Amino acid sequence: MSWQAVAQKDFEDAVRSRWLWGLSVFFLLFFGGTTTVFYAYVGGPDATSDSLFGLFASGFLSFSYTGFLAFALAFIALISSYGAVIDERESGTLKLLLSLPHARRDVIAGKIAGRSAVVVIPALVGFLIALVALLATGTRIVPGHFFPQIALTALLAVAFVSIGVGVSASAGSGRQATLGTLGLYFLFALLWSFVARGFPQLLTEIAKRVPVVEPLSGALTVKLRLLVKYLNPLRAYETLVAEVYFGDPIQARLVKEGFFTQAQAAPVLQESLPFYLTGPFIFAVLLAWIAVPPLLGYWSFRDQDL
């Protein structure tokens, strides 16, 4: 099929440019290094694979290994994909590619498949190294937690590749693609918490000014803030992994929240967990980040004059 030929060429180009090998070395050091150091010096004799990969800390210092991994993986996926279409357009090779029996939708689909393979395969190699390190140190592995996390990590990588390709397809120049990609990364990684807090406050202010609209209750404010928070693919991935480890969706939705917020929000969610905060819905959000950006990118790319 046409898109498969585009994907194969994209992947082979990455192998020839040694980008694939560089990423493999990075993930080897990232997973192998953190796993070896943790289980050799920190974990202790009773440590399991959950001790590091299921590490979530909240309160004064909020940290999770999953969140740290997500930030690094998202950046790599965007860097790997933001030039997928626009670079070929600016170099003139895109016209040659489209002169072959490839439709523009095949180019988009092929670029996503090829660039996803470039990111996902090295990440899987990294997890394999981590697995070897766990076995070598005699650490007990919890397969029901460790392997679902690997699958979710692969989906996160594909989601950010899709975002990068979508931006690349809709951009008018390499500069636009670079700025758009960096802007999205900083939005997801740094600024989204302000958006999550600001959205309920905006609705509250609107309710105050419209006489017929009821003011938002405290419970609804908490739920709306969490809804917006988990529309972020990074946070959606993090809470889905937390649910795999905790087995409790409410605890997973409040992961990395401060003690005060947990004390305030836990009773609200225990009373009724809305469908938009359930695991299946948040998983659908993560899948939507794989489907929607390329569709928007194709919609713009389809009518561009090359």
Each residue's pLDDT tens digit, 260-304: 888 888 888 888 889 999 999 999 999 999 999 999 999 988 877
Nearest CA to 32 among 118, 137, 117, 115? Answer: 137
In b/e form, how buried is each residue of 223-245, taking b as 16+ CB within 10 angstroms?
bbbbbbbbbbbbbbbbbbbbbbb
Token pair 């937390």 is found at 242
Taking only the tens place, the pLDDT of each residue in 50-99 is: 999 999 887 767 889 999 999 999 999 999 899 888 888 888 777 777 77
Q: How many CB atoms sit inside 10 A of residue 256's CB? A: 20
Give the model's pLDDT for residue 241: 97
Give the model's pLDDT for residue 26: 86
Give the model's pLDDT for residue 114: 92
Tokens of 245: 């480890």
Integer Cα distance of 143 and 49 in angstroms? 9
The alpha carbon of 135 is separated from its chain's Cα centroid by a whole number of angstroms, namely 28
Angle at 75 between CA 73 and CA 76, to 5 degrees: 65
Write out the DSSP string of 183-220.
HHHHIIIIIHHHHHHHHHHHHHHHHHH-TTSPPPPHHH
Give the model's pLDDT for residue 306: 67
The percentage of the chain sitting over the pLDDT mark of 90, rounded to a whole number, equals 48
Report, as an integer, the average pLDDT of 228-232: 96
Residue 101 has pLDDT above 80, yes or no: no
Handedness of CA 126, 132, 138, 141 (dihedral sign): positive
Contact (CB, 8 A) for 267 and 73: no
Give the model's pLDDT for residue 154: 97
Angle at 288 between CA 286 and CA 292, to 5 degrees: 140
Mean pLDDT of the chain: 88
Integer Cα distance of 115 and 80 in angstroms? 7
Residue 16 has pLDDT above 90, yes or no: no
Report, as an integer, the average pLDDT of 216-225: 84
Give the model's pLDDT for residue 182: 93
Residue 225 has pLDDT above 80, yes or no: yes
**What DSSP designation does 139 have?**
P
Integer Cα distance of 32 and 36 in angstroms? 6
Global pTM value: 0.92
Residue 199 has pLDDT above 80, yes or no: yes
Tokens of 90: 């600016």
Residue 1 has pLDDT above 70, yes or no: no
Residues 6+ apart with CB under 8 A from 252: 239, 240, 242, 243, 246, 279
Taking only the tens place, the pLDDT of each residue in 137-163 is: 888 999 999 999 999 999 999 999 999
Give the model's pLDDT for residue 127: 93
Report, as an integer, the average pLDDT of 104-130: 91
Give the model's pLDDT for residue 142: 95
Give the model's pLDDT for residue 96: 74
Predicted confidence band at 29 (pLDDT cuts at 50, 70, 90)? confident
End-to-end CA distance of the chain: 24
| Of 102-106, 195-199, 271-275, 288-292, minimum mean pLDDT range | 102-106
Nearest CA to 282 among 216, 246, 245, 228? Answer: 228
